[in-house]
A and B are shown apart, each in its own frame.
Chain A
């Protein structure tokens, strides 16, 4: 069956015509044109197709597009205004937490979510939380370092703001 669904993608309301058996992954890439969401394994193993669905990270190769009807999807493009990088993205660049870059948007998204629920994760919490992601270049060390660094910087900024407020 064909139907029209409404999805809010990175803050913009979109109406898309889809078939019931279409995956969210394919609709986001091919019909909405958001290309940071990558297709890797199509079976929930690599994590490249991660999106934030109503704020929570899911693998969009295992979600039907129709399930996202009337819901909100966020991708790496939505983390900062057009042409800018979010603070976390900047640290990924500074730490060279990538080689080919194919998996980077998905790592950034999941890290973004992790830091929003746990602003001060330990190394093992980061490793555990990213266990659904694969980086074939093996940049894990730098990715973990970038996230730890972000948490540290963030804490210092918070402290400074708190002191100023006093």
Chain B
């Protein structure tokens, strides 16, 4: 390399490219924390250049067939494998039709070139507060499928992120897929975000709504992220919207409830007060759009 600065080069490691899932799981089981998973590499290489991560092994999972799954099983839901990149998600018609909040979210991520590499599972595994992926997944009752040599287990999305850069995976586990449950009939969903000047999210929201004009049949789901280390689905809001009260009043009450549940943080991107304010702005905007008031 020409300049020899830590900022530009990657630290030394050995590259392995398992051909089967079994091979990959055995390798990870053997090397655990010494191995980092490479899917899109967008996050991994950035951290490695900064020497925040210095793995002995980099395990490229893109050649593994099982991880390239992208499948809509209708009433059984949607499966996205760990090696599926963001542009593949955008090109997949069922996501645009039924999982619109996810489509919105992905279409706003970084840029079209990086989206040829980055993956939604990489996004959630990174588990940094400003990643957007988890928020839309929360409103589709997503489960993360984790595999190890001992077998597989499913981790609900709302238990997957444990803190800043901490996820629920064991060192010998690989997140192989996410499973989204099908949205309710006739539902619509959307995703909104507000970013800092550096394009990192400081607030994002995902809302789903079915039957907006019939209170007894109305379904509303709401999740937010990026305002604190752990993104959250606000279940309190969901019962509230079943009442016959006029919608504008319900939105006011929902905002109150959302703000009560949120613990916005202050960090280098934004102050807690600003995050709290923008959470309200985005939530109101999203509710109004889907509930039509």
Contacts and interface: CB of A to CB of B under 8 A. Distances in A.
B15 A66 contact: yes
Contacts, number: 75
Interface in B183-241: none
Place the interface of chain A in its size category. 20 to 34
Interface string A9-33: 0000000000111110010001000
Given A57-B113, A110-B113, A128-B112, A42 B7 contact: yes
B15 A64 contact: yes
B42 A131 contact: no
A62 B45 contact: yes
B103 to A, nearest CB: 14
Main SS of the interface on chain A? Answer: mixed
Interface stretch (A43-51, A80-88, A91-99, A155-163): A43-51
A64 B49 CA distance: 13
A47 B110 CA distance: 12
A129 B110 CA distance: 11
B130 to A, nearest CB: 15
Contact of B116 (A42, A56, A128): A56
Contacts of A50: 113
A62 B114 contact: yes
B281 interface: no
Nearest to A114: B112
A119 interface: no
A67 interface: yes
A40 B2 CA distance: 13
B41 A132 contact: no
Contacts of B9: 21, 23
A58 interface: yes
B102 to A, nearest CB: 18
Interface of B: 1-2, 7-15, 38, 41-42, 45-46, 49, 58, 60, 62, 110-114, 116-117
Given A22-B1, A42-B7, A131-B112, 14 more contacts: A19-B12, A20-B14, A43-B49, A44-B46, A44-B114, A50-B113, A57-B112, A58-B116, A62-B46, A64-B38, A64-B41, A64-B60, A66-B15, A132-B112
